Protein backbone atom coordinates (compact mmCIF):
# COMPACT_ATOMS: atom_id res chain seq x y z
CA UNK A 1 0.00 0.00 0.00
CA UNK A 2 2.83 2.33 0.92
CA UNK A 3 4.64 1.48 -2.31
CA UNK A 4 1.53 2.32 -4.39
CA UNK A 5 1.15 5.63 -2.53
CA UNK A 6 4.78 6.44 -3.09
CA UNK A 7 4.47 5.73 -6.77
CA UNK A 8 1.46 8.02 -7.07
CA UNK A 9 3.30 10.81 -5.29
CA UNK A 10 6.17 10.76 -7.74
CA UNK A 11 7.58 14.27 -7.82
CA UNK A 12 7.31 16.68 -10.70
CA UNK A 13 11.06 16.53 -11.13
CA UNK A 14 11.01 12.75 -11.69
CA UNK A 15 8.16 12.93 -14.20
CA UNK A 16 9.87 15.70 -16.10
CA UNK A 17 13.12 13.76 -16.08
CA UNK A 18 11.46 10.68 -17.56
CA UNK A 19 9.67 12.73 -20.20
CA UNK A 20 12.84 14.55 -21.11
CA UNK A 21 14.81 11.30 -21.37
CA UNK A 22 12.21 9.89 -23.77
CA UNK A 23 12.60 12.90 -26.04
CA UNK A 24 16.27 12.28 -26.76
CA UNK A 25 16.75 11.24 -30.45
CA UNK A 26 18.92 8.37 -31.69
CA UNK A 27 21.63 10.81 -32.75
CA UNK A 28 21.88 12.24 -29.23
CA UNK A 29 20.00 15.46 -30.01
CA UNK A 30 17.02 16.64 -28.04
CA UNK A 31 13.55 17.32 -29.45
CA UNK A 32 13.59 20.67 -27.65
CA UNK A 33 16.83 21.60 -29.32
CA UNK A 34 18.84 21.72 -26.07
CA UNK A 35 22.30 20.24 -26.42
CA UNK A 36 23.81 18.08 -23.74
CA UNK A 37 26.85 20.04 -22.57
CA UNK A 38 29.11 20.15 -19.55
CA UNK A 39 28.84 16.48 -18.51
CA UNK A 40 32.01 15.13 -17.02
CA UNK A 41 31.11 11.60 -17.97
CA UNK A 42 29.17 10.33 -20.96
CA UNK A 43 26.93 8.27 -18.73
CA UNK A 44 25.67 11.42 -16.98
CA UNK A 45 24.24 13.01 -20.14
CA UNK A 46 20.71 11.78 -19.62
CA UNK A 47 20.81 12.77 -15.94
CA UNK A 48 21.83 16.31 -16.83
CA UNK A 49 19.05 16.60 -19.37
CA UNK A 50 16.61 15.31 -16.77
CA UNK A 51 17.79 17.91 -14.28
CA UNK A 52 17.41 20.64 -16.90
CA UNK A 53 13.88 19.48 -17.57
CA UNK A 54 13.11 19.59 -13.87
CA UNK A 55 14.41 23.15 -13.76
CA UNK A 56 12.04 23.99 -16.61
CA UNK A 57 9.16 22.67 -14.53
CA UNK A 58 10.25 24.74 -11.55
CA UNK A 59 10.63 27.85 -13.71
CA UNK A 60 7.13 27.33 -15.06
CA UNK A 61 5.74 26.99 -11.53
CA UNK A 62 7.61 30.12 -10.49
CA UNK A 63 6.12 32.01 -13.44
CA UNK A 64 2.66 30.88 -12.41
CA UNK A 65 3.22 32.03 -8.82
CA UNK A 66 4.50 35.40 -10.02
CA UNK A 67 1.48 35.81 -12.29
CA UNK A 68 -0.70 35.17 -9.25
CA UNK A 69 1.09 37.90 -7.33
CA UNK A 70 3.15 35.55 -5.20
CA UNK A 71 6.53 36.13 -6.84
CA UNK A 72 9.25 38.65 -6.16
CA UNK A 73 8.63 42.34 -6.77
CA UNK A 74 9.65 43.34 -10.30
CA UNK A 75 10.70 46.73 -8.93
CA UNK A 76 13.48 45.24 -6.83
CA UNK A 77 16.71 46.01 -8.72
CA UNK A 78 19.17 43.26 -9.42
CA UNK A 79 22.54 43.52 -7.69
CA UNK A 80 24.97 45.65 -9.66
CA UNK A 81 27.72 43.14 -9.10
CA UNK A 82 28.36 39.87 -7.43
CA UNK A 83 29.99 40.50 -4.07
CA UNK A 84 33.36 38.87 -3.76
CA UNK A 85 34.18 36.63 -0.86
CA UNK A 86 35.72 38.38 2.14
CA UNK A 87 39.44 38.85 1.84
CA UNK A 88 42.03 39.73 4.44
CA UNK A 89 44.88 42.07 3.45
CA UNK A 90 48.21 40.36 3.16
CA UNK A 91 50.07 43.20 4.85
CA UNK A 92 49.45 45.04 8.15
CA UNK A 93 46.91 47.85 7.79
CA UNK A 94 48.15 51.30 8.77
CA UNK A 95 46.14 54.49 8.81
CA UNK A 96 46.96 58.04 9.81
CA UNK A 97 44.17 59.80 11.72
CA UNK A 98 43.67 63.51 12.13
CA UNK A 99 41.29 65.16 14.59
CA UNK A 100 41.07 68.99 14.58
CA UNK A 101 41.29 70.77 17.93
CA UNK A 102 39.83 74.10 19.03
CA UNK A 103 41.83 75.36 22.05
CA UNK A 104 40.79 78.25 24.27
CA UNK A 105 41.74 81.80 23.35
CA UNK A 106 42.53 80.84 19.75
CA UNK A 107 39.81 82.85 18.01
CA UNK A 108 38.56 86.44 18.07
CA UNK A 109 35.11 87.83 17.43
CA UNK A 110 36.39 89.56 14.28
CA UNK A 111 37.69 86.29 12.86
CA UNK A 112 34.34 84.66 13.52
CA UNK A 113 32.38 87.53 11.98
CA UNK A 114 30.65 88.79 15.13
CA UNK A 115 29.78 92.44 15.65
CA UNK A 116 30.30 94.09 19.04
CA UNK A 117 26.61 93.97 19.92
CA UNK A 118 26.50 90.24 19.12
CA UNK A 119 29.36 89.57 21.51
CA UNK A 120 27.55 91.51 24.24
CA UNK A 121 24.36 89.58 23.51
CA UNK A 122 26.24 86.31 24.01
CA UNK A 123 27.62 87.59 27.29
CA UNK A 124 24.18 88.62 28.49
CA UNK A 125 22.66 85.26 27.59
CA UNK A 126 25.39 83.44 29.47
CA UNK A 127 24.65 85.63 32.48
CA UNK A 128 20.94 84.85 32.15
CA UNK A 129 21.65 81.12 32.19
CA UNK A 130 23.88 81.43 35.26
CA UNK A 131 21.45 83.59 37.25
CA UNK A 132 18.51 81.42 36.25
CA UNK A 133 20.20 78.27 37.52
CA UNK A 134 21.28 79.93 40.75
CA UNK A 135 17.67 80.90 41.47
CA UNK A 136 16.49 77.41 40.52
CA UNK A 137 18.69 76.02 43.25
CA UNK A 138 17.18 78.49 45.71
CA UNK A 139 13.60 77.75 44.64
CA UNK A 140 14.21 74.03 45.00
CA UNK A 141 15.42 74.55 48.55
CA UNK A 142 12.26 76.55 49.20
CA UNK A 143 10.24 73.60 47.84
CA UNK A 144 8.75 75.56 44.96
CA UNK A 145 10.44 73.12 42.58
CA UNK A 146 10.26 69.37 43.06
CA UNK A 147 11.44 66.29 41.27
CA UNK A 148 14.73 66.10 39.42
CA UNK A 149 16.83 69.21 38.89
CA UNK A 150 20.08 69.15 36.92
CA UNK A 151 21.84 72.53 36.86
CA UNK A 152 23.92 73.86 33.97
CA UNK A 153 26.21 76.18 35.95
CA UNK A 154 29.69 76.20 34.40
CA UNK A 155 28.67 75.00 30.94
CA UNK A 156 27.13 78.22 29.56
CA UNK A 157 29.74 78.71 26.81
CA UNK A 158 28.74 75.41 25.21
CA UNK A 159 25.10 76.32 24.71
CA UNK A 160 25.74 79.95 23.75
CA UNK A 161 28.60 79.24 21.37
CA UNK A 162 26.68 76.43 19.69
CA UNK A 163 23.35 78.11 19.04
CA UNK A 164 25.12 81.14 17.56
CA UNK A 165 26.40 78.83 14.83
CA UNK A 166 22.98 77.81 13.47
CA UNK A 167 19.98 79.36 11.73
CA UNK A 168 17.37 80.10 14.36
CA UNK A 169 13.88 78.99 13.45
CA UNK A 170 15.23 76.57 10.84
CA UNK A 171 17.88 74.29 12.32
CA UNK A 172 16.92 71.92 15.12
CA UNK A 173 18.37 71.28 18.56
CA UNK A 174 17.84 68.36 20.91
CA UNK A 175 19.53 67.64 24.22
CA UNK A 176 19.41 65.54 27.38
CA UNK A 177 18.08 66.26 30.85
CA UNK A 178 20.46 69.16 31.69
CA UNK A 179 18.47 71.37 29.35
CA UNK A 180 17.79 74.72 31.07
CA UNK A 181 20.81 76.57 29.67
CA UNK A 182 20.38 75.34 26.13
CA UNK A 183 16.69 76.19 26.22
CA UNK A 184 17.42 79.76 27.29
CA UNK A 185 20.15 80.03 24.65
CA UNK A 186 17.59 78.97 22.05
CA UNK A 187 15.36 81.85 23.08
CA UNK A 188 12.79 80.11 25.26
CA UNK A 189 10.92 82.52 27.50
CA UNK A 190 12.45 82.55 31.03
CA UNK A 191 8.99 82.89 32.57
CA UNK A 192 7.71 79.82 30.74
CA UNK A 193 10.84 77.91 31.74
CA UNK A 194 10.44 78.78 35.42
CA UNK A 195 6.72 78.03 35.27
CA UNK A 196 7.54 74.59 33.91
CA UNK A 197 9.81 73.96 36.87
CA UNK A 198 6.97 75.06 39.16
CA UNK A 199 4.61 72.63 37.40
CA UNK A 200 2.36 75.41 36.13
CA UNK A 201 0.09 75.41 33.09
CA UNK A 202 2.03 78.31 31.54
CA UNK A 203 5.21 76.23 31.35
CA UNK A 204 6.98 75.14 28.20
CA UNK A 205 5.14 71.81 28.31
CA UNK A 206 2.15 73.06 30.31
CA UNK A 207 3.66 71.99 33.60
CA UNK A 208 3.76 68.28 32.76
CA UNK A 209 7.38 67.89 31.69
CA UNK A 210 9.34 69.52 34.46
CA UNK A 211 13.05 70.20 34.56
CA UNK A 212 14.14 67.53 32.10
CA UNK A 213 11.60 68.19 29.38
CA UNK A 214 11.74 71.78 28.15
CA UNK A 215 10.31 71.99 24.64
CA UNK A 216 9.46 74.64 22.08
CA UNK A 217 8.51 73.53 18.60
CA UNK A 218 8.47 77.04 17.14
CA UNK A 219 12.01 77.62 18.37
CA UNK A 220 13.00 74.21 16.95
CA UNK A 221 14.03 73.07 20.42
CA UNK A 222 13.00 69.43 20.76
CA UNK A 223 13.87 68.72 24.40
CA UNK A 224 14.90 67.83 27.08
CA UNK A 225 15.05 63.97 27.46
CA UNK A 226 15.44 62.22 30.78
CA UNK A 227 17.03 58.89 29.81
CA UNK A 228 20.80 58.83 29.36
CA UNK A 229 21.58 58.52 25.66
CA UNK A 230 17.94 58.16 24.61
CA UNK A 231 17.86 61.50 22.82
CA UNK A 232 20.74 60.63 20.50
CA UNK A 233 18.73 58.35 18.16
CA UNK A 234 15.99 61.00 18.17
CA UNK A 235 18.56 63.54 17.00
CA UNK A 236 19.50 61.22 14.16
CA UNK A 237 15.81 60.90 13.36
CA UNK A 238 15.34 64.67 13.24
CA UNK A 239 18.32 64.90 10.90
CA UNK A 240 16.78 62.17 8.73
CA UNK A 241 13.58 64.23 8.53
CA UNK A 242 15.60 67.24 7.35
CA UNK A 243 17.31 65.09 4.74
CA UNK A 244 14.04 63.51 3.60
CA UNK A 245 12.46 66.93 3.10
CA UNK A 246 15.52 68.29 1.33
CA UNK A 247 15.43 71.52 3.34
CA UNK A 248 19.21 71.92 3.95
CA UNK A 249 18.60 72.24 7.68
CA UNK A 250 20.75 70.53 10.29
CA UNK A 251 20.30 69.12 13.76
CA UNK A 252 22.57 69.74 16.74
CA UNK A 253 22.29 66.69 18.97
CA UNK A 254 23.65 67.25 22.49
CA UNK A 255 24.41 64.57 25.07
CA UNK A 256 26.76 64.01 27.98
CA UNK A 257 29.89 61.92 28.33
CA UNK A 258 27.89 59.23 30.12
CA UNK A 259 25.74 58.72 27.03
CA UNK A 260 28.77 57.69 24.98
CA UNK A 261 28.86 54.46 26.99
CA UNK A 262 25.29 53.64 25.91
CA UNK A 263 24.44 51.44 22.95
CA UNK A 264 21.94 53.98 21.63
CA UNK A 265 24.79 56.42 20.97
CA UNK A 266 26.66 53.94 18.81
CA UNK A 267 23.53 52.88 16.92
CA UNK A 268 22.77 56.51 16.12
CA UNK A 269 26.36 57.18 15.07
CA UNK A 270 26.25 54.21 12.73
CA UNK A 271 23.01 55.37 11.12
CA UNK A 272 24.32 58.92 10.80
CA UNK A 273 27.36 57.66 8.94
CA UNK A 274 25.44 55.12 6.89
CA UNK A 275 22.87 57.61 5.61
CA UNK A 276 25.01 60.78 5.62
CA UNK A 277 22.59 62.53 7.95
CA UNK A 278 22.86 66.33 8.45
CA UNK A 279 23.64 66.09 12.16
CA UNK A 280 26.39 67.33 14.47
CA UNK A 281 26.73 65.00 17.44
CA UNK A 282 27.93 67.21 20.31
CA UNK A 283 29.20 65.53 23.45
CA UNK A 284 29.19 67.89 26.43
CA UNK A 285 31.96 66.21 28.36
CA UNK A 286 31.64 67.77 31.81
CA UNK A 287 34.01 65.12 33.19
CA UNK A 288 31.48 63.24 35.32
CA UNK A 289 28.69 60.77 34.62
CA UNK A 290 26.81 61.20 37.88
CA UNK A 291 29.67 60.58 40.34
CA UNK A 292 32.03 58.66 38.05
CA UNK A 293 34.90 60.48 36.37
CA UNK A 294 35.28 59.90 32.64
CA UNK A 295 38.66 58.21 33.10
CA UNK A 296 37.01 55.56 35.26
CA UNK A 297 34.10 55.03 32.86
CA UNK A 298 35.63 55.02 29.37
CA UNK A 299 38.40 52.77 28.04
CA UNK A 300 39.31 55.69 25.77
CA UNK A 301 38.48 59.02 27.46
CA UNK A 302 39.22 60.89 24.23
CA UNK A 303 35.60 60.58 23.22
CA UNK A 304 35.92 62.41 19.90
CA UNK A 305 37.95 59.48 18.59
CA UNK A 306 34.79 57.35 18.48
CA UNK A 307 34.04 59.14 15.22
CA UNK A 308 36.66 57.05 13.45
CA UNK A 309 34.74 53.84 14.17
CA UNK A 310 31.96 55.12 11.94
CA UNK A 311 34.16 56.75 9.31
CA UNK A 312 33.12 60.23 10.46
CA UNK A 313 35.11 63.37 11.20
CA UNK A 314 35.80 63.99 14.87
CA UNK A 315 37.13 67.00 16.77
CA UNK A 316 37.53 68.38 20.28
CA UNK A 317 36.95 71.93 21.54
CA UNK A 318 37.50 73.81 24.79
CA UNK A 319 34.04 74.30 26.26
CA UNK A 320 35.14 77.11 28.56
CA UNK A 321 35.65 79.52 25.66
CA UNK A 322 32.54 80.62 23.79
CA UNK A 323 34.52 81.53 20.67
CA UNK A 324 36.27 78.15 20.51
CA UNK A 325 32.91 76.41 20.80
CA UNK A 326 31.36 78.64 18.15
CA UNK A 327 34.17 78.05 15.68
CA UNK A 328 34.06 74.29 16.20
CA UNK A 329 30.28 74.04 15.83
CA UNK A 330 30.25 76.41 12.84
CA UNK A 331 32.77 74.25 11.00
CA UNK A 332 30.80 71.09 11.67
CA UNK A 333 27.44 72.66 10.83
CA UNK A 334 28.87 73.63 7.47
CA UNK A 335 29.89 70.01 6.92
CA UNK A 336 26.45 68.80 7.97
CA UNK A 337 24.77 71.03 5.39
CA UNK A 338 26.86 69.23 2.77
CA UNK A 339 25.70 65.84 4.03
CA UNK A 340 28.65 65.07 6.30
CA UNK A 341 27.74 64.11 9.88
CA UNK A 342 30.38 64.43 12.59
CA UNK A 343 31.18 64.03 16.27
CA UNK A 344 32.35 67.00 18.32
CA UNK A 345 33.52 66.59 21.89
CA UNK A 346 33.31 69.80 23.92
CA UNK A 347 35.23 69.64 27.18
CA UNK A 348 33.55 71.59 29.92
CA UNK A 349 32.86 71.31 33.64
CA UNK A 350 29.77 71.42 35.83
CA UNK A 351 30.18 73.28 39.09
CA UNK A 352 27.25 71.61 40.82
CA UNK A 353 26.65 67.96 41.54
CA UNK A 354 24.93 65.70 39.05
CA UNK A 355 21.58 66.79 40.43
CA UNK A 356 20.45 69.10 43.19
CA UNK A 357 20.67 66.25 45.71
CA UNK A 358 24.29 65.39 44.85
CA UNK A 359 26.88 66.97 47.22
CA UNK A 360 29.69 66.05 44.79
CA UNK A 361 31.95 64.67 47.49
CA UNK A 362 33.74 62.61 44.86
CA UNK A 363 35.74 65.62 43.64
CA UNK A 364 39.34 66.03 44.72
CA UNK A 365 40.11 68.90 47.06
CA UNK A 366 40.75 72.08 45.09
CA UNK A 367 39.39 70.65 41.82
CA UNK A 368 36.34 72.91 41.65
CA UNK A 369 38.34 76.04 42.42
CA UNK A 370 40.84 75.18 39.68
CA UNK A 371 38.03 74.85 37.16
CA UNK A 372 36.34 78.06 38.27
CA UNK A 373 39.58 79.91 37.51
CA UNK A 374 38.78 79.20 33.84
CA UNK A 375 35.14 80.23 34.12
CA UNK A 376 33.68 80.96 30.69
CA UNK A 377 31.76 84.04 31.78
CA UNK A 378 34.78 85.57 33.47
CA UNK A 379 36.88 84.79 30.40
CA UNK A 380 34.41 86.48 28.05
CA UNK A 381 34.10 89.50 30.35
CA UNK A 382 37.88 89.92 30.33
CA UNK A 383 37.90 89.64 26.54
CA UNK A 384 35.20 92.30 26.20
CA UNK A 385 37.11 94.71 28.42
CA UNK A 386 40.48 94.00 26.79
CA UNK A 387 38.99 94.61 23.33
CA UNK A 388 37.19 97.79 24.49
CA UNK A 389 33.84 96.37 23.44
CA UNK A 390 32.22 97.71 26.62
CA UNK A 391 33.04 98.89 30.14
CA UNK A 392 32.58 97.58 33.67
CA UNK A 393 29.53 99.70 34.41
CA UNK A 394 27.68 98.49 31.33
CA UNK A 395 28.53 94.87 32.05
CA UNK A 396 27.35 95.27 35.64
CA UNK A 397 24.07 96.68 34.35
CA UNK A 398 23.70 93.66 32.09
CA UNK A 399 24.17 91.40 35.09
CA UNK A 400 21.51 93.28 37.04
CA UNK A 401 19.16 92.99 34.09
CA UNK A 402 19.70 89.24 33.98
CA UNK A 403 19.00 88.95 37.69
CA UNK A 404 15.80 90.98 37.35
CA UNK A 405 14.64 88.89 34.40
CA UNK A 406 14.91 85.79 36.56
CA UNK A 407 13.05 87.45 39.45
CA UNK A 408 10.28 88.38 37.02
CA UNK A 409 10.22 84.77 35.81
CA UNK A 410 9.77 83.54 39.38
CA UNK A 411 6.92 85.98 39.95
CA UNK A 412 5.27 84.83 36.73
CA UNK A 413 5.59 81.20 37.79
CA UNK A 414 4.19 81.88 41.25
CA UNK A 415 1.14 83.68 39.85
CA UNK A 416 0.43 81.08 37.16
CA UNK A 417 -2.23 78.41 37.65
CA UNK A 418 -1.67 74.72 37.98
CA UNK A 419 -2.88 72.61 35.04
CA UNK A 420 -6.55 71.69 35.10
CA UNK A 421 -7.40 68.01 35.53
CA UNK A 422 -8.78 68.00 32.01
CA UNK A 423 -5.26 68.62 30.71
CA UNK A 424 -4.20 65.16 31.83
CA UNK A 425 -4.96 63.64 28.41
CA UNK A 426 -3.81 66.57 26.31
CA UNK A 427 -0.88 65.89 23.99
CA UNK A 428 -1.29 62.17 24.59
CA UNK A 429 -3.76 61.09 21.90
CA UNK A 430 -4.32 62.43 18.41
CA UNK A 431 -8.08 62.82 18.88
CA UNK A 432 -9.55 65.98 20.34
CA UNK A 433 -12.59 64.31 21.91
CA UNK A 434 -12.15 61.44 24.32
CA UNK A 435 -15.28 59.34 24.97
CA UNK A 436 -13.85 58.01 28.23
CA UNK A 437 -13.78 61.55 29.66
CA UNK A 438 -17.54 62.00 29.33
**129-147 pLDDT per residue, tens:** 999 999 999 999 999 999 9
**414-423 pLDDT per residue, tens:** 999 999 988 8
28 conformational bin, left if phi > 0, alpha if psi -120 to 50, beta if neither? left
Angle between helix 376-386 and helix 116-141 axes, rounded to 10 deg? 150
- The model's pTM: 0.80
**390-416 pLDDT per residue, tens:** 999 999 999 999 999 999 999 999 999
Cα–Cα separations (whole angstroms), residue 196 to 3, 134, 223, 299, 339: 82, 16, 13, 38, 36
**218-241 pLDDT per residue, tens:** 999 999 999 999 999 999 999 999
Q: How confident is the model at residue 83 (pLDDT cuts 50, 70, 90)?
A: confident
- Domains, the chain, in order of start with CATH, read 101-115+147-183+211-389 (3.40.50.970)
**336-357 pLDDT per residue, tens:** 999 999 999 999 999 999 999 8
- Cβ–Cβ < 8 Å for 335, 170: no
Amino acid sequence: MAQNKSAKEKSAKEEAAEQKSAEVNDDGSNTNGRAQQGATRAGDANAEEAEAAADDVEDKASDEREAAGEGEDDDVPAPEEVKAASEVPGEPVTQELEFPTYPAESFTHDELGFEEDEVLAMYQNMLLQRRFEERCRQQYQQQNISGFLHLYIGQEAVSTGSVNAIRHGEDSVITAYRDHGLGLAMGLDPGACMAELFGKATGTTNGKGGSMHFFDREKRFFGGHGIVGAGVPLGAGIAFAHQYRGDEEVCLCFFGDGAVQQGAFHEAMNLAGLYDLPVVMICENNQYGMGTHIERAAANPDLYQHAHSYDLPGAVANGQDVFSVNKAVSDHVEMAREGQPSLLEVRTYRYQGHSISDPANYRAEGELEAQQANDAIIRLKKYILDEDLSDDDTLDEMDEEARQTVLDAIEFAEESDLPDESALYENVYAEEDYPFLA
